[in-house]
Structure 1
Amino acid sequence: MRRRQGLGLGGALLLALLAGKLSAAEPGLSEKLGLLAAAYPDAIERIDGNAMVLSDGGPPIIIDDGRKKSHAEKLAAADIEDSLSQIYPLGACARPPAVDFDPGRIRSEALMKRLYGGSAAAVRRDLVAVDWFGERVRVTKNGTAAALKAVAAELSQHAEFQRYVTPSAGTFNWRPIAGAATLSVHSFGAAIDLNTGFADYWRWAGKGARGYRNRYPLGIVEIFEKHGFIWGGRWYHFDTMHFEYRPELIAIGRLAGASACSR
């Protein structure tokens, strides 16, 4: 893929954010799109009005289809604007999420396919092996592999975390989300599930906050978030063993000053 020239709005925002030069504010769509483009500089060429132009030479993707959707409709058929509509909160806290608060679970499948591949065969071509505490797990080389290596290196400094993170319950697996027609992020090699012995999942425990529970140390969550992964334990439809590489949502959450400890 052809690399974008210059930093542009997204790159400048991202650098300022990382340098701590931006104050907390509710970001507008243009700022969110800038951070999205900055998070995938080899794949996203530019924002052109209501269209996102990618470097693969394919047709532009419409950012906002103009349809007002329910939460269920967003989960089933999100556009790019929908995927950025909920702010992901960060930090060493875990509380029962509000009803239908699913930041990151709303995804533009059209964009995911353009970032990582539109078929299992296409995604497999970009998979690389990463050492995960003696296992070899396969994830996409398009950002995720380097980030997961950094997570593993930092987690290895905490012996108390080892039993929670290994064995991994899986990375690449081209499949739909359970009970849905949309693809799991595991399909794109951009997610990892941790040791299922500590997992809690909304379909098992009772829908939403009524059955919410988390048994993973929040220090693990902080390390993943530091390297661009979001955690399924932040969702109303929670999946506490699940982490997926979504650096744009981490950057937007930081820009907004969204803290999991202040909700």
Structure 2
Amino acid sequence: MKRFLILLFIFQNVFPQEIPLNVQKLMKVYPNQIVGYKENKIIFSDKSTLIYDDFKNKNNQELIDNPDIEDQFRFVYSKINKNSMPKKDPGRIRNEVFFKKIYGNSKSEVESKLVDIIWCPKLVHQKIKVTTVNDIDKIVTKLSTELDQHPEFQKYIQNIGGTFNWRKISGTNRLSMHSFGMTLDINIKKSNYWQWDCKCTNENATLSYRNQIPLKLVAIFEKYGFIWGGNWKHYDTMHFEFRPELLN
């Protein structure tokens, strides 16, 4: 037994535990919050941990309602094109505790990290609130500056439907990503949302995909680390969410 323990110690130190690729992506894009990985746990800067993979087989509803962090990468986010409508929900699976660790555990904690910026000063000039976590406010400012050079997109990016709003997703007990100040809804009047179109909240409803948002506009958002809700089977075409780990 003693010899076994000595060999185990040598093995662990000579061959350290390999960090899963998706954990490496998380560490890269959330460097101020995620500082390590050990024994299937993500380690945060406050020394707390979260299980990465619970190794449970889940159906689609269980993935939505009770995902682990590994589940967030279950479906690959690929850029949509007009000939390939989405069949999965890449990025719609979210571990709520994880995002609370990144952005704030309560409304007041998230609010303490918010700042006002002027969205598209030339084309729109609308004040919005975004988080300063990992310089997202600066990223949104750069995004806004680029969009300001595209007057052809003005009708889509004006009348921002929402940024920060601590709330539950309609018809669910799940916290909206708007609760963290890293999500933007563009002009509602030019958007489609599956619950509005099917007049239901049933995840298993038969849906007919609808979209009015130009894919060239979507590509600009993706350039700055935002995934698009129009890239989901359960589409939300106004919705852009800062999830750069899914775009790398």
TM-score, with length taken from structure 2 = 0.85
Paired letter, 1:135: Q
Could you tell me whether the CA contact under 8 Å between 2:163 and 2:184 is conserved in 1? yes
Partner SS for 1:243? strand
Q: Deviations over 1:207-235 (max 9, x none)?
A: 77742111011111000000000000000
Q: Paired residue for 2:229, among 227, 232, 238?
A: 232
Corresponding position of 1:11? none
In the TM superposition, residue 84 of structure 1 has moved relative to its aligned partner by 1.2
Matched, 1:79 2:71: no
In the TM superposition, residue 192 of structure 1 has moved relative to its aligned partner by 0.4
Question: Which structure has the bigger radius of gyration?
Answer: 2
Q: Paired residue for 2:245, among 234, 243, 248?
A: 248
Moved more, 197-206 or 226-235: 197-206
After superposition, the Cα gap between the structure-2 partners of 1:173 and 1:225, relative to the gap in structure 1 and judged at 3 Å, is same
Could you tell me whether the CA contact under 8 Å between 1:29 and 1:81 is conserved in 2? no
Corresponding position of 1:3? none
Moved more, 129-138 or 118-127: 129-138
Matched, 1:167 2:159: yes
TM-score, with length taken from structure 1 = 0.80
The 1-side partners of 2:246 and 2:45 are apart by: 21
In the TM superposition, residue 29 of structure 1 has moved relative to its aligned partner by 8.3
Moved more, 184-193 or 207-216: 207-216
Structure 2 unmatched ranges of 5 or more: 1-17
Runs of 4+ aligned structure 1 residues displaced above 4 Å come to: 91-94
The 2-side partners of 1:32 and 1:154 are apart by: 29
Could you tell me whether the CA contact under 8 Å between 1:94 and 1:233 is conserved in 2? no
Could you tell me whether the CA contact under 8 Å between 1:231 and 1:243 is conserved in 2? yes
After superposition, the Cα gap between the structure-2 partners of 1:151 and 1:221, relative to the gap in structure 1 and judged at 3 Å, is same
Moved more, 163-172 or 147-156: 147-156
- Of structures 1 and 2, the one scoring higher in RCO (CA 8 A, sep 6+) is 1
Structure 1 unmatched ranges of 5 or more: 1-27, 252-263
Q: Deviations over 1:153-211 (max 9, x none)?
A: 11111110011001100100001111111111000111000001111011122377742
Corresponding position of 2:100? 113
Could you tell me whether the CA contact under 8 Å between 1:228 and 1:247 is conserved in 2? yes
Matches within 5 A, 1:63-74: 63-74=52-63
% identical aligned pairs: 41
Could you tell me whether the CA contact under 8 Å between 1:91 and 1:222 is conserved in 2? no
Corresponding position of 1:152? 144
Could you tell me whether the CA contact under 8 Å between 1:96 and 1:209 is conserved in 2? no
Paired letter, 1:113: K
Partner SS for 2:133? coil
Provide the aligned C-alpha RMSD in A. Answer: 1.8
